[in-house]
A and B are shown apart, each in its own frame.
Chain A
Amino acid sequence: MDFFVLMLAIPLVSGALLTVVGERDWAPNINVLASLGTFLAAAGLTVEIVANGPRFAFGEQFFIDSLNVFFVTLTAFVGLTTSIFSGPYMRNERDHGRLSKPRLRLYKSMYQLFMFTMLAALTTNNLGILWVAMEAATLTTVLLVSLYRTPASLEAAWKYFILCGVGIAQALFGTVLLYFAAERVLGATGNALLWTHLVGVKAQLEPAIMALAFIFLLVGYGTKVGLAPLHNWLPDAHAEGPTPVSAVLSGLLLNVALYAILRCKVLADGALPEGYAGNLMIGFGLFTLLVAAFFLSRQKDVKRMFAYSSIEHMGLITFAFGMGGPIANFAGLLHMTMHSLTKSAIFFAVGHASQKTGTQLIENISGLIRINPLIGWGLMLGTLAILGMPPFGVFASEFMILTHAMRHYPWAIPILLLALGVAFASIFGKVQPMVFGQTTARRLPHAPAITPVFLHLGIVLMLGLWIPPYLTRWFHEAARMLG
């Protein structure tokens, strides 16, 4: 059996299956098993790609190379750990009466379909289908954000739907323009939106059209990445949805949207004078970084605060890819991996912490370490990691981005340091009292799933100290593809 087909089929089939059996007590196990199956298939696919090089699937409709197979593995891995985390978390929510059985069914089913849409978006070769899959990813998560049906969660979901809808409509206009440019070279066939065909003729694409197309694509998909000034949906959706959804939104969806921009950037770079696409991304990236850093200090809700931290990191990554070149691209890819793993680990810890204290307000959470040392340490270490403390991997990637910027874009250094400094001061100052001091937490009937937290942090620590050579090779190859 083909690993690729398995990888797409498992989430799709199990998503359908869970709509039927999702209310049973053993349904969470199906969710975990399906995610495990998806992850194994993705791992198999990765081994295959690393050994044999890029391949197509279903004619030329899907294309897997070293760039997207790397995102596929990351997505499937975080999908697996999040499904493990959500088991006890959702049981506690049910026992507290915050979620009924039908809603748990909706959650599991939509979770699998969300994984499917993201994997489809990552592997498709057709830029039109990429758009369709991105929109489908929004649709599957809208009902997850409003899962609690509280006024605040409905407001968050509405904002998410409308803002991302508008954003993604811009991206569709960009795709239309791209098709227009491509059609003049490739003819009006179905192939004119296939990335592998486009990349071959990228130098012949009409610059006037491509310039406009890239702006629309950047703003459109950038809305989903959380780039300022269209980032408003992100903190609300993260804070009001269930924590496993916050973890996958932050750890995965933002990456997939950024991936879409990267694919388009490769085409724009070929057609446009050097630096056009890159400078746009540098501008948006720095602006996002600054805006997020200064909003961070004003947050009172812990999930909201870490959502702003995600925006901040997305800004930094966009800046890195905007600089371009093998080193900055390598750093950007590494930072995306580190951010995904660390941020989802933090959300796991925060989720358990807010369950134990019954609140998401930072000032009402304290002394986590007394009631559950593992969660307390998980949150503390995760926070140190995301703030870029050595020896965690985030330090390595941030250091690479900074040194590269120092050499080629020295004027950006004060902005970067200011934003990172402000972020450090605000986050650390708020997390420290949450972990230490008099405790406000209590024990819950279902023991939290600690393994995913430390698994993620362990990998981040390892990658900070030592990146296995085959992984370096793989990153290098992906970075080279981005030009």
Chain B
Amino acid sequence: MSSIPFSAQLINLFAAAILLLGFAMLAQRRNLALVNLFAFQGLCLCLATLTTAISTGQTHLFYSAGLTLALKVVALPWILYRLVRQLNVGGEAEALINIPTTMLVGIVLVMIAFNVALPISELSQTITRGTLGIALAVVMLAFLMMITRQKAISQVVGFLSMENGLFLAATSATYGMPMVVELGIALDVLVGMIILGVFFFQIRDQFDSLDIRHMEKLKDN
């Protein structure tokens, strides 16, 4: 193991933290704590990108890390905090069915993700290539979270966590996408979040709750 440079070990550490936080989100029942976990995941993503930037000297990765810090550690969690406060759903607990089962499904998904990513990461020459499997696993865990959750807020956190996984994938496979694309993606995510904020209030006014179980009326019959 001594052949792996220190920076790569650091990146792997952060990536592992991102994955663990993905599992933590899957098990977390309270909205406010979920937002905290999301902010931590963003921070780990930012640190991983920063370490990659320092060890490879890719300047645009510094911008990318800054963007992650501004958007995913500060702006989005702040918007989410405000939403949770104003909608008064911070302590609301999600009636999750059987966390252990969800976790087991999550583990299976991680194994699938590693198997899918293995042949591709072997082709990559980046020092971060080992994390591609982790990135795909984070995407899949976020996907699982969106499927199993019934509160609008937790679905959105799942969606944003998926975005985190995709950013990690971009960094680990190719040292990040071209700057113009990353800026565009960031803009989309931010605008999407603002629209969702508006949307939450509309949903609450209409249903008196953010539980999407109320929203299963539209069916084919």
Residues of A with Cβ closer than 8 Å to B? 126, 128-129, 131-132, 135-136, 139, 142-143, 146, 149-152, 154-159, 161-162, 165-166, 169, 172-173, 175-177, 179-180, 183-184, 188-190, 192-193, 206, 208-209, 212, 235-236, 239-240, 295, 298-300, 304
User: Which residues of B have CB within 8 Å of A132?
Assistant: 181, 184-185, 187-188
Known: A165-B192, A180-B124. A295 touches B174 (CB 8 A): no
Q: Indicate whether B199 reaches chain A with its CB closer than 8 angstroms.
A: yes
Interface centre among A150, A179, A206, A235, by most chain B C-beta atoms within 10 angstroms, is A179
A166 and B199 contacting across the interface, CB-CB below 8 Å: no
Q: CB distance A179 to B192 under 8 Å?
A: no
- A176-B199 contact given A128-B177, A152-B218, A299-B220, CB 8 Å threshold: no
Minimum distance in angstroms from A106 CB to a CB of chain B = 10
Determine whether the beta carbon of A180 is less than 8 Å from that of B188.
no
8 A Cβ contacts from B176-221 to A: 177-181, 184-185, 187-188, 191-192, 195-196, 198-199, 202-203, 205-207, 212, 214-218, 220-221
Contacts of B203 in A (CB 8 A): 154, 158
A208 touches B146 (CB 8 A): no
A interface secondary structure, majority: helix
Q: Which chain A residue shows the least CB distance to B123?
A: A206
User: What is the distance, in angstroms, from B68's C-beta to the closest C-beta of chain A?
Assistant: 15
CA distance A188 to B177 in the complex (A): 9
The answer for the CA separation of A236 and B220 in the assembled complex, in Å, is 10
Interface flag for B103 (CB, 8 Å): no
- Which of these binds chain A: B17-25, B75-83, B86-94, B162-170? B162-170
Q: Which residue from chain B places its CB closest to the CB of A208 in the assembled complex?
A: B119
Decide: A161 and B218 in contact? CB cutoff 8 A.
no
User: B152, A188: Cβ atoms under 8 Å?
Assistant: no
* Beta-carbon contact of B120 and A212 below 8 Å: yes
Nearest-Cβ distance from residue A224 to partner chain B, whole angstroms: 14
CB distance from B22 to the nearest CB of A (A): 15
A176 touches B206 (CB 8 A): no
Q: With the chains together, A143 CA to B199 CA distance in Å?
A: 8
* Bound Cα distance A364, B206 (Å): 27
Interchain CB contact under 8 A, B173 and A135 = no
Chain A residue with Cβ nearest B156 = A162
What residues of chain B lie closer than 8 Å to A165, measured between beta carbons? 159, 192
| Interface residue? B48 (CB, 8 A) | no
Q: Which 10 A-B pairs have the closest CB atoms?
A: A128-B181, A132-B184, A155-B215, A180-B173, A190-B178, A135-B188, A176-B170, A236-B218, A180-B174, A169-B162
With A and B bound together, what is the CA distance between A410 and B198 in angstroms?
Answer: 51
Chain B, interface size category, equals: 35 or more
- B51 CB–A CB distance under 8 Å: no
* B129 CB → nearest A CB, Å: 10
State in angstroms the CA–CA spacing of A291 and B65 once bound together. 44
Name the distance in Å between A310's Cβ and chain B's nearest Cβ.
15
Give the residues in chain A near B218, CB-CB below 8 Å.
152, 155-156, 159, 236, 239-240
Tell me the bound Cα distance from A212 to B118 in angstroms: 12
Q: Is B134 located at the chain interface by the 8 A CB criterion? A: no
Query: Is there contact, CB below 8 Å, between B179 and A151?
Result: no
Known pairs A146-B202, A154-B199, A166-B159 / 16 extra A-B pairs, C-beta < 8 Å? A129-B181, A131-B184, A132-B185, A135-B188, A136-B191, A146-B199, A152-B217, A173-B136, A173-B169, A175-B177, A176-B166, A193-B178, A193-B181, A206-B123, A212-B116, A240-B218
Could you tell me if B146 and A162 are in contact, using CB atoms closer than 8 angstroms?
Answer: yes
- Kindly identify which residue among B177, B191, B199 contacts A161, using a CB–CB cutoff of 8 Å: B199
Q: Is the CB of A209 within 8 A of B217?
A: no
Distance to closest chain B CB from A288 (angstroms): 15
CB distance from A425 to the nearest CB of B (A): 17
A444 to chain B, nearest CB (A): 27
In angstroms, Cα B177 to Cα A129, docked, is 11
A295–B220 alpha-carbon span in the complex (Å): 8
Query: Would you call A183 and B174 a contact (CB within 8 A)?
Result: yes
Q: Given the interface contacts A132-B184, A158-B199, does A298 sit within 8 Å of B220 by beta carbon?
A: yes
Kindly state whether residue B143 has any CB partner on chain A within 8 Å.
yes
B196 and A129 contacting across the interface, CB-CB below 8 Å:
no
Measured in the bound complex, the distance between the Cα atoms of B188 and A300 in whole Å is 36
A-B contact pairs, 15 of them (CB 8 A): A132-B185, A139-B192, A142-B199, A149-B206, A150-B206, A154-B202, A162-B155, A172-B166, A173-B136, A173-B166, A176-B174, A179-B177, A180-B124, A209-B120, A295-B220
